[in-house]
Structure formats: C-alpha cells, structure tokens
Amino acid sequence: MKNEILKLSLGVDVSKETLAVCLCRLTARLTKEFEDPFEVSNDLSGFKKLVKWLLKNASSPEDIVVVMESTGIYHEALVYHLYGEGFPVSVMQSGRVKRYAQSLDQRSKTDALDSRMLAMLGCERELALWSHQIQYYVS
C-alpha cells in the first residue's frame, strides 16, 4: 500500500519580525511526517517565499490548511495574504493552543517547536477556518 497523504497542515509561529513554519503530512497509515522547520520574514517578501514553497508541496492551495495562533496584530497581514491566495487558514485562540501543547507534555518552547505543534494540531483536528467578512454598521 502506497503511503498516501490524507492531510497537509502548515503550522506558523508568528512574531513581529519572523514566521517560523513547519509542514506536517498525515499519511494513510496515520503517521505524521514533518518537514524541517524554517523561518521567513513577516512581510510581503516572506509571504511570497512561503507561498512559492507551499505550492511545491501541494497541487493546490486548498490542499494545505494553515494554522497559527492569534498574536495581536502580527498575524493579520499573513492571514489576509494567504486567504487571498486561496489557502484555508485557521487562527487559534492562545488558550486553546496552550491546552493542546500541554496535552502533548511539551516542556520546551521554541519557535520551531511551536510551529511543529501547530502543524500537528492542524493534521489531527478539524478546525474552524478564518474568513474575511465585511461587517456593515448602521448608525
């Protein structure tokens, strides 16, 4: 039996200057395979590099769910960029992410480990997806 890929998830640990990213593949044998984490800049140049790399790992943007933690304003530009490129994006509340990490008994905390943990979360769970909704306020 070929080790078919069931799901792809990219975990992104967001900071003001950089994005630590890790890709996880969930296989038909229910194993998880990880790419080595790496960093890109948290700006348009970094977003473009990331999208180009992602499209080498999947046939279309819809095949990869991107998971990140809400980080004040630092994740927003990335969310809009990836959403505009057609990627499904899930922005998680920090409390939910923290509880998931605790369930893994993860004692160390680095950007690379956090991105790996977020990628694993995306492979294991069905997450609510972010969508751009324009809200109209009537005065």
Rounded to whole angstroms, the Cα distance separating 13 from 109 reads 11
pLDDT in tens, the chain (139 residues): 467 999 999 999 999 999 999 999 999 999 999 999 999 999 999 999 999 999 998 888 999 999 999 888 999 999 999 999 999 999 998 878 888 777 887 767 788 889 999 999 999 998 989 887 654 445 4
pLDDT of 138 reads: 53
Burial of 138 (0-12, 13-18, 19+ CB in 10 A): exposed
CATH code, 5-124:
3.30.420.10
Give start and end residues of each alpha helix (H) in the chain. 44-57, 76-84, 94-103, 111-124
Radius of gyration of the chain (CA): 15
Q: Distance between the two ends of the chain, CA-based, in angstroms? A: 62
Domain ranges of the chain: 5-124
pLDDT of 87 reads: 95
pLDDT of 2 reads: 63
- Tell me the two tokens of residue 139: 């005065």
Rounded to whole angstroms, the Cα distance separating 85 from 16 reads 22
Ramachandran region, residue 99 (left: φ > 0; alpha: ψ -120 to 50; beta: rest):
alpha
